[in-house]
C-alpha cells in the first residue's frame, strides 16, 4: 500500500504553493514546447504576460486548488500559437511552475479560450488546477 495523506494535509500542501509563489504572481504565455524544468532557460516567444491578483487561487478543497477570479489579458503582446506557460513570482523572472496550454477542454495543464493569439487580442485563461496526490 502506498503512503496516504489526509485531506487536510493535502489541502495544506496545495495552499502552500500559492503562499510560496507569492501575491501578484505573473504568468507568461509562450510559444513552443515546455522547457525541461523551471531551472531551464525560458523558451519560445512571450505572447502575453498576465499579472495575477494578490490572491490568485481558491483555497484548496479535497486536495484541489483552482484559479480564483478572472485571469485575462486585454491585449496580447505578440501573435503566435501558445504552447506553454510559465508561472513566476511577482518579479516576473523567478519561475515556480510551468505546463502545457490547450484550448478549453483540450486537456492541457492550463486552458485558454483560444490558442492562436493576435497582437492586441483579448484572451482568457479558462482553467488551471493544482491537484495534490497521495489520497
pLDDT of residue 68: 96
Cβ distance 25 to 52 under 8 Å? yes
What sign does the dihedral 118-77-49-81 (CA atoms) show?
Answer: positive
pLDDT of residue 1: 65
104, part of any domain: yes
19, part of any domain: yes
Work out how many domains the chain is built from and give that number. Answer: 1
127, part of any domain: yes
58, part of any domain: yes
pLDDT of residue 134: 82
pLDDT of residue 3: 87
Parent domain of 119: 7-131
Judging by DSSP bridges, how do beta strands 80-88 and 71-73 pair with one another? unpaired
Work out the burial of residue 28: count CB atoms within 10 Å of its CB; fewer than 13 is exposed, 13-18 middle, 19 or more buried: buried
Nearest CA-CA partner of 64 in 133, 110, 19, 130: 130
- Alpha-carbon gap, residue 21 to 4, rounded angstroms: 26
34, part of any domain: yes
2, part of any domain: no
Mean pLDDT per 10-residue segment, the chain (135 residues): 89 96 97 97 97 96 95 96 98 97 94 96 95 84
1, part of any domain: no
Amino acid at each position: 500500500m502506498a503512503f496516504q495523506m489526509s485531506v487536510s494535509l493535502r489541502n495544506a500542501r496545495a495552499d502552500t504553493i500559492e503562499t510560496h509563489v507569492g501575491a501578484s504572481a505573473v504568468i507568461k504565455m509562450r510559444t513552443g514546447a515546455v522547457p525541461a524544468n523551471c531551472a531551464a532557460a525560458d523558451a519560445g516567444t512571450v505572447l502575453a504576460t498576465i499579472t495575477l491578483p494578490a490572491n490568485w487561487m481558491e483555497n484548496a478543497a479535497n486536495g484541489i486548488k483552482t484559479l480564483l477570479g478572472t485571469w485575462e489579458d486585454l491585449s496580447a503582446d505578440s501573435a503566435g500559437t501558445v504552447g506553454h506557460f510559465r508561472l513566476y513570482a511577482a518579479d516576473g523572472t523567478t519561475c515556480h511552475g510551468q505546463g502545457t496550454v490547450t484550448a478549453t477542454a483540450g486537456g492541457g495543464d492550463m486552458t485558454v479560450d483560444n490558442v492562436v493569439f493576435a497582437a492586441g487580442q483579448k484572451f482568457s485563461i479558462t482553467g488551471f488546477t493544482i491537484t495534490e496526490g497521495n489520497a
